[in-house]
Amino acid sequence: MTLRLDLLRHGETELGGGLRGSLDDALTEKGWMQMRAAVVEGGPWDRIVSSPLQRCARFAAELGEQLNLSVHLDKYLQELHFGAWEGQSAAALMETDAEALGLFWADPYSFTPPQGEPVSDFSSRVLSAVARLHSTYAGERVLLVSHGGVMRLLLAQARGVPRGQLLNVAGAHGALFALTVAADGSLKEGH
């Protein structure tokens, strides 16, 4: 039995772009609008699962209340922790740490930001969480409200994107994608 998993990336945040990671930024009004617009034609869902960071969880709570659905917060579906790079933009890092940033962009699995979470650990954490979702909710359609890195990772897996090209997978603020999760953990884009 499969799990139908819809991925919704949080909207624009108050502190803007850059590597937000574990920072708990709030959504801007535009960010709320992006997320509300994304789900207008979506669903129907059986339940909502969300990262506990407020840029995801507050929208998930609002939508859950509107749709009378339970919302489960899962810390394992949080964004990659960027360590010393948290809160910094790529432009700022180009001025202070260009070589390291280049290594990370070239192959995020081979280079970890200083004091950051290795992408291989992040990948294991997220894929294990998705496997738990499958074992708990197989046969259902679940909305996952999460982050750009989580979305990139899952879409890359579904599309067969080579590990080194993970950061080339796009997913704008408020983007909504559909995945099917099989019993063996394999991912396919679409339902």
> Tens digit of pLDDT for each residue in 113-138?
999 999 999 999 999 999 999 999 99
Residue 69 has pLDDT above 80, yes or no: yes
Name the pTM for this structure.
Answer: 0.95
DSSP the chain: --EEEEEEE---BTT-SS--TT--PPBPHHHHHHHHHHHTT----SEEEE-SSHHHHHHHHHHHHHHT--EEE-GGGSPPP-GGGTT--HHHHHHH-HHHHHHHHH-TTT---TT---HHHHHHHHHHHHHHHHHHHTTSEEEEEE-HHHHHHHHHHHHT--GGGGGG----TT-EEEEEE-TTS-EEE--
pLDDT at 7 over 90: yes
Q: Which domains does the chain have, with CATH numbers?
A: 3-189 (3.40.50.1240)
Model pLDDT for residues 18-53, shown as the tens digit of each residue:
889 999 999 999 999 999 999 999 999 999 999 999
